[in-house]
Amino acid sequence: MDKMKKDFTPTLLDFGPLQIFLARHFGFCYGVENAIEIAFRTVEENPGKRIFLLSEMIHNPQVNADLQSHGIQFLQDTYGKQLISFDELNANDIVLIPAFGTTPLIENKLNEIGIATEKYNTTCPFVEKVWNRSESIAKSNYTIVIHGKPGHEETRATFSRASVHAPSVVVKDMRQAEELAKYIRGEKPVSLFYEEFKHQYSDSFNVEKDLEKIGVVNQTTMLASDTQAIADFLKSVMIKKYGAETTNDHFADTRDTLCYATNDNQSAVSGMLNTQADLAIVVGGYNSSNTSHLVELCEQKLHTYFIRNEENIISQRDILHYDLHAKQEILTSNYLPSKEPVKILITSGASCPDSIVEAVIKKIAGLYPGIRTMEKLTSEFQ
Ligand code: SF4
């Protein structure tokens, strides 16, 4: 009913001794639904054909395993490492491009083998929007600064496409933006740039010339506030160097290039965090960028448990969860406080099916025998 998506209060599922506050917006986005639909339709319409996915369709292990169980094979892992050589492909094969998109180099390679990439391209329109934005500022001779994770498929695709049109450089966070600023101001020897930003700048990048005019775009799933802070910071560096009256000549107004789903899910987490709760649970794939950012937001306020699915909830005492900082799964005991009601915030990333969130809620509810049933509770929302 909130068509303008202005209301970010979470939905309360009141089980009595357990209260779950579900983020107003969570889970699957348009791009992911579209990609999965195309993948399954492709399987249905092409019996007997070999179907490959360039890499993971999305960053969710269940969805990827489901696709594999339908016979789809992955050509690369999520870091771009080749699992099946392109030499093994032939013109009769189908190769699906994932929602993150891919590089022109790979597209050309597939086209040379005789594999048409347009029909089975699931690149999300919001990712393409970033590519178009990059191209348009490149036409005005701005260098493209991409805020993103250098190894992420989407950033690699955006970087390679941006590099076709203009010098490009990836900054992964504010710390790197601050280092880039030192080269803009001429405070650091140019020679250091090439080591410091190794594998993050385009061919023939000229530090002295190519940092005079810049514009910032981002990997669509970065934290909106981080991208905004980086863009504002680099803009202020340009203003200090060239003067406010010529700002537009040195800094392109790109506004943010986050997708709506990332924005909505992040805003919904901020809204959810206004609730006084005991802990937060974020559900999604451990290598999912947008999910990690939801975890970071929750961690600022609460004990937060990043889990893949309901199996991570081992018992009322133990939970197995991913530590973003140590980059490993860890077991935590006594994660549920012994008080009533226990208040838990729950959200999930854009690549997490709702059925997994439902299974997580059911598993937690099952830890409290005798409470209101899920069916009774959900009937109130019908
Ligand atoms: S998170 Fe956004 S950009 Fe990424 S696939 Fe979903 S809608 Fe597209």
The pLDDT profile of the chain, 382 residues, written as one tens digit per residue, is 788 788 999 999 999 999 999 999 999 888 888 999 999 999 999 999 999 999 877 778 888 899 999 999 999 887 778 999 999 999 999 999 998 899 999 999 999 999 988 889 999 999 999 999 999 999 999 999 999 999 998 999 999 999 999 999 999 999 999 999 999 999 999 999 999 999 999 999 999 999 999 999 999 888 888 999 999 999 999 999 999 999 999 999 777 677 888 889 999 999 999 999 999 999 999 988 899 999 999 999 999 999 999 999 999 999 999 999 999 999 999 999 999 999 999 999 988 999 999 999 999 999 999 898 888 888 887 7
Nearest residue CA, atom 7 of ligand 1? 31
Nearest atom of ligand 1 to the alpha carbon of 35: 5
Nearest atom of ligand 1 to the alpha carbon of 125: 8
Ligand 1 contacts CB of residue 127 (under 6 A):
yes
Ligand 1 contacts CB of residue 176 (under 6 A):
no
Nearest atom of ligand 1 to the alpha carbon of 58: 5
128 is catalytic: no
Q: How far is the CA of 239 from the centre of ligand 1 (A)?
A: 33
Nearest residue CA, atom 2 of ligand 1? 259
SS (H, E, C) the chain: CCCCCCCCCCEEEECCCEEEEECCCCCCCHHHHHHHHHHHHHHHHCCCCCEEECCCCCCCHHHHHHHHHCCCEECECCCCCECCCHHHCCCCCEEEECCCCCCHHHHHHHHHHCCCCCCCECCCHHHHHHHHHHHHHHHCCCEEEEECCCCCHHHHHHHHHHHHHCCEEEECCHHHHHHHHHHHCCCCCHHHHHHHCCCCECCCCCHHHHCCCEEEEECCCCCHHHHHHHHHHHHHHHHHHHCHHHHHHHEECCCCCCCHHHHHHHHHHHHHCCCCCCEEEEECCCCCHHHHHHHHHHHCCCCEEEECCHHHECCCCEEEEEECCCCEEEEEECCCCCCCCEEEEEEECCCCCHHHHHHHHHHHHCCCCCCCCHHHHHHCCC
Residue 14, phi then psi, degrees to nearest 5: -95, 100
pTM score above 0.85: no
Ligand 1 contacts CB of residue 294 (under 6 A):
no
Ligand 1 contacts CB of residue 126 (under 6 A):
yes
Catalytic residue (choose from 107, 153, 154, 296): 154
Ligand 1 contacts CB of residue 231 (under 6 A):
no
Reference 122, options 69, 177, 52, 181; nearest CA is 52
Ligand 1 contacts CB of residue 99 (under 6 A):
yes
Ligand 1 contacts CB of residue 220 (under 6 A):
yes
Q: How far is the CA of 125 from the centre of ligand 1 (A)?
A: 8
Nearest residue CA, atom 5 of ligand 1? 31
